[in-house]
Amino acid sequence: MKIIMLGAPGAGKGTQAKMISEKYHIPHISTGDIFRANIKNGTELGTEAKKYMDQGLLVPDELTVRILLDRVSNEDCTEGYVLDGFPRTIPQAEVLDHALEELGDKIDYAINIDIADEVIVSRMSGRRACLTCGATYHTEYIIPVKEGICDKCGSELILRDDDKAETVLKRLQVYHTQTQPLIDFYENKKVLKSVDGTKKLEMVFEEICTLLD
């Protein structure tokens, strides 16, 4: 079962991907994680990717797909995997599709977590983070015992720049331009499954499991 997670930033793709990974015993693969692992381990692919990153350039799609295919060739991916953070654009999806086709493989499901922009802005601008221990909170959903203070270590909680409303709106603009077209791309391939991302986390997960089962 090869799965791609789609949805705007803040839609909860990463959380749902982890839950899918645990339930179905398939790896949750984040492109950011495999880039870091390859660079840390000094692999040939990691060294090649680092050349671009050190110059502030985007890693070419072909190289990203090579790193991804190297990861999914591992034994733990025999029963499938769930991709989080890739593809982000139509060209990336086409390169990935072509590479998988050459291996006699394909994506089985593209799960789109559908959620309105205003809900995402509200969710993300309510996030608060502890820079000391990494704990995260929310002004509505995960409220600390003492306002503005981390329950775990007592440090001050902050609103990260990435979560500020103006930053979120810019990220959503990029998403609608670059990534949303993937919904049509995978719908045309008859693998798209959409779920209502405005529901509670557990209900969204139930909906996903119903589609996968």
Q: What is the DSSP letter of 156?
A: B
Q: Is 171 a catalytic residue?
A: yes
Four-point Cα dihedral 82, 85, 86, 87, nearest 10: 120
Q: Pick from 57, 166, 137, 26: which is nearest to 5 by CA?
A: 26
Helix (H, G, I), strand (E, B) or coil at 109: strand
Identify whether 71 is a catalytic site residue. no
Can you tell me the distance from the alpha carbon of 110 to that of 174, in angstroms, rounded to the nearest whole number?
20
Q: How far is CA 134 from the centre of its chain?
A: 19
State the catalytic residue, choosing from 2, 66, 71, 127. 127
Catalytic residue (choose from 18, 88, 164, 193): 88
Neighbours of 40 (CB within 10 A): 9
Return d(Cα 179, Cα 162) in angstroms, integer: 18
Of the residues 160, 170, 189, 199, which is catalytic?
Answer: 160
Active site (annotated) includes residue 160? yes
Q: Which residue in 18, 50, 164, 171 is the catalytic one?
A: 171
Catalytic residue among 13, 66, 123, 128: 13
Instruction: Give kind and range of the element (H or E) at residue 172.
Output: helix 165-174
Tokens (6 digits) for 190? 């008859």
Give catalytic residues, as residue numbers: 13, 88, 127, 160, 171
